[in-house]
Amino acid sequence: MNIEDAVIAKLNKQGLNFEILVDCEKAMEFKHGASIDVNDIVVSGMTLFKDVKKGEKANEHDIQRLFGTKDNTEVIKKIIRDGEVQLTKEYKDKLREEKRRSVINLIHRYSINPINNLPHPPQRIEAAIEEAKVKIDEFKKAEEQVNDIISKINRVLPIRYEIRDVEIRIPAKFAGKTYSTLKQFGTMLKDEWQNDGSLLSVLEIPAGLTADLFDKLNSLTHGEVETKIIATK
């Protein structure tokens, strides 16, 4: 990476700044737990600065005193993990798009159109977000903002957040091979093996996955499954 494309990663300890130049994307991957060689992240070599722009190097005594080591590799790791990494516009755009996709997927899974009790297609949800001019926070978890987003797009799209408890009865000859499928769709609240070998279970699932679950079970059992929605939350 060219040094002109690098960003500053910095950490302030007891009023002193420690800075390095890094590749933004690799630094953020490392910050979030990826195993990346520090040499592939830093652009300014292993030199530590107190001010990168002025070219002022950090004092070795301060490094030892505040980090407890003179090993610049370990210090750089701490700066990236515990400090602040400047984000490029490209990285912010990528982050925003990834969060947008996550939000749309969550809404598709956990909500329905109250008019027909079916999930909205992702494209319709995306259009509603645009129409309602909803801002998605790229730095906030999708799960933490999805309820607020649903309430905002409800002005332009009939939508309801819903969890369902579904009672499922599977004949004995299909019970074994469908059991793992049930767990893939939601939380098993009840699973009872009947005297005839059939399986009676209650599954808690996002409302938007109901149709997919029924289609999958009908396919696996050749239509011999019995399903009933017994509760909504």
Q: 33 vs 45, 125, 176, CA distance in Å?
A: 22, 32, 38
Cα 111 from chain centre: 18
Q: Do residues 71 and 81 make contact, with C-beta atoms less than 8 angstroms apart?
A: no
pTM: 0.78
Q: What is the pLDDT of residues 190-201, one digit of tens each?
A: 999 999 999 999
Superfamily for the 89-161 domain:
SBDS protein C-terminal domain, subdomain 1 (1.10.10.900)
Residue whose tokens read 């939508």: 159
pLDDT of residue 114: 94
Report the phi/psi class of residue 151: left, alpha or beta, with left for phi > 0 and alpha for psi in -120 to 50.
Answer: alpha
Residue whose tokens read 């011999």: 224
Q: What is the dihedral of CA 54, 56, 58, 61, to 10 degrees?
A: -150
- Calpha distance 72→217 (Å, rounded): 57
Angle between the N-to-C axes of helices 142-153 and 89-110, in degrees from 0 to 180, rounded to the nearest 10: 70
- DSSP codes of every residue in 66-128: HHS---HHHHHHHHHHHSEE---HHHHHHHHHHHHHHHHHHHHHHEEBTTTTBPPPHHHHHHH
pLDDT less than 50: residues of the chain: none
- Calpha distance 224→221 (Å, rounded): 5
Burial of 6 (0-12, 13-18, 19+ CB in 10 A): buried
The class that CATH gives domain 163-232 is alpha beta
Instruction: Domain ranges for the chain, please list them.
Output: 3-85, 89-161, 163-232
pLDDT of residue 46: 79
Architecture per CATH, domain 3-85, reads as 2-Layer Sandwich (3.30)
Q: Is 181 helix (H, G, I), strand (E, B) or coil?
A: helix
